[in-house]
Amino acid sequence: MLHDLIMRTPIFMEEANTRNKYILYKAITTKRPLVVNPNLPPRLVSLCKAALLKDPETRIQAVSLGQLAAKSDTTDEIRKRLTAGRSKTANRSAPSILIWKTHVRDWLRNAALEEKEALGPHTLRELECTTGLAWALSFSSSGRTITATLAPSTDKSHLVLTLSANVPEELKTPVLEIFDTGPQIEAPEVLRQVSSNILYLLDL
């Protein structure tokens, strides 16, 4: 329920719409749902991610009903949540950035094309980046530019696609997590997620 409120879409909706029980079962048991909403407190997103951990024992240690009802966390509760979240991925390394370079570039280009009526023509160019890969997505009609960065996560277990803009202060929003098996959401949802965050940043 918390996922649906944060993401404004039912969890595993795409799999459920296939009316294929096997596809839905596989998503429920293996797929890590994306939980991102820059308009909400990060604490809610963190609690939601902990509540969606697949392993029941890890999940029950990471989050409780009392934490969801509380207005703030103790440092011990935060520590448990972070430990549980990384325990299954501590020994995994992030996939190669170069393998995902073309995919991410295409997602950015296709998202801009999909919103061409609202945003006008765009240019996409690669930037120098010491931590990973970066692109500048510029819109000539408004003179605004969004920077997209693809870099390893803090624990080096996966890649994170982040969008940022100066509006007027710099605002960064994580959009997508990429694991060894790829993004934990289906292709149409990837494009929707990238597109909606581009619109959000430009609207600011």
What pLDDT does 89 receive?
46
Q: What residue segments make up the domains of the chain, in order of their start?
A: 2-87, 97-203
What pLDDT does 200 receive?
84
At 162 the three-state DSSP class reads strand
Q: Which residue has the tokens 């996939």?
A: 95
* One pLDDT digit (tens) per residue for the chain, 204 residues: 989 998 888 998 888 888 887 778 877 877 888 888 888 877 888 888 888 888 877 888 777 777 777 778 788 877 777 777 665 544 456 788 888 999 999 999 999 898 888 888 899 999 988 888 999 999 877 778 889 999 998 878 889 999 988 766 778 888 888 887 788 777 778 888 898 888 888 877
Quick one: tokens of 94? 């992030």
Is 96 in contact with 182 (CB distance < 8 Å)? no
Is 30 in contact with 54 (CB distance < 8 Å)? yes
pTM for the complete prediction? 0.56
Rounded CA-CA distance 48/44 in Å is 6
At 122 the three-state DSSP class reads strand
What pLDDT does 23 receive?
77
